[in-house]
Amino acid sequence: MKPKTKQLFFLFSLVSIAEIALISTGNETFRLISKPLIIPTLAATYLAATSRTKPFYKDAVLMGLLFSWFGDVLLHFEGYFIPGLISFLTAHIFYIFFFSSTQSANTSFFKLRPVMLIAVIAYLIELMLLLWPHLGGMKAPVLLYGITISTMLSAAFWQYQKLDNTTAIYLIIGAGFFVASDSILALNKFKKPFDSAGIYIMSTYILAQLFIVLGAIRYRNIPQEQ
DSSP per-residue string spanning 132-169: GGG-GGGHHHHHHHHHHHHHHHHHHHTTBTTB-HHHHH
Distance separating alpha carbons of residues 152 and 142, to the nearest angstrom: 15
Cβ 171 vs Cβ 215: under 8 Å: yes
Q: What is the pLDDT of residues 185-226, one digit of tens each?
A: 999 999 999 989 999 999 999 999 999 999 999 999 976 543
H/E segment holding residue 131:
helix 114-131
* pTM listed for this prediction: 0.92
Radius of gyration of the chain (CA): 18
Residue 185 CB-density burial (10 A; 0-12 exposed, 13-18 middle, 19+ buried)? buried
pLDDT-based confidence at residue 147 (cuts at 50, 70, 90): very high
Question: How many angstroms from the chain centroid is the CA of residue 12?
Answer: 16
pLDDT-based confidence at residue 160 (cuts at 50, 70, 90): confident
77: phi then psi, degrees, rounded to nearest 5 = -115, 145
Q: Residue 112 pLDDT > 80, yes or no? A: no
> Once rounded to an integer, what is the mean pLDDT over residues 132-145?
95
Distance separating alpha carbons of residues 31 and 74, to the nearest angstrom: 13
Q: What is the pLDDT of residues 40-80, one digit of tens each?
A: 999 999 999 998 777 888 899 999 999 999 999 999 888 99
Distance separating alpha carbons of residues 218 and 79, to the nearest angstrom: 38
